[in-house]
Amino acid sequence: IIPSQINSTTVENIQNDIKKYDCDAIILGCTELPVVYNENNLEKPAVDTTRLLAHYALQFASED
């Protein structure tokens, strides 16, 4: 998915796939995806892997 090429049809298709496969959560595994999607506009919980990486990198860097 390329954010500059996303339109309402793309979002609707993804939402339909989420319903079709009855997933429990969505992994936002590309750095571009959290720009477009988040838990506010998805019907399922979303895992932002970039945010997780940043969180744990900071945690690791601050350990003594």
**Is 28 strand, coil or helix?**
strand
Overall pTM surpassing 0.85 (yes/no): no
pLDDT surpassing 70 at residue 1: no
Strand partners, 46: 26
**Is 56 strand, coil or helix?**
helix
Domain ranges of the chain: 3-61
Residues 20-53: tens digit of each pLDDT: 888 888 888 887 778 777 777 788 888 999 999 9
Amino acid at 11: V
Q: Give the mean model confidence (pLDDT) for residues 54-63.
A: 95
Per-residue 3-state assignment (H helix, E strand, C coil) for 39-52: CCCCCCCEEEHHHH
Please count the CA atoms within 13 angstroms of the CA of 6 that sit on its side-chain side.
13
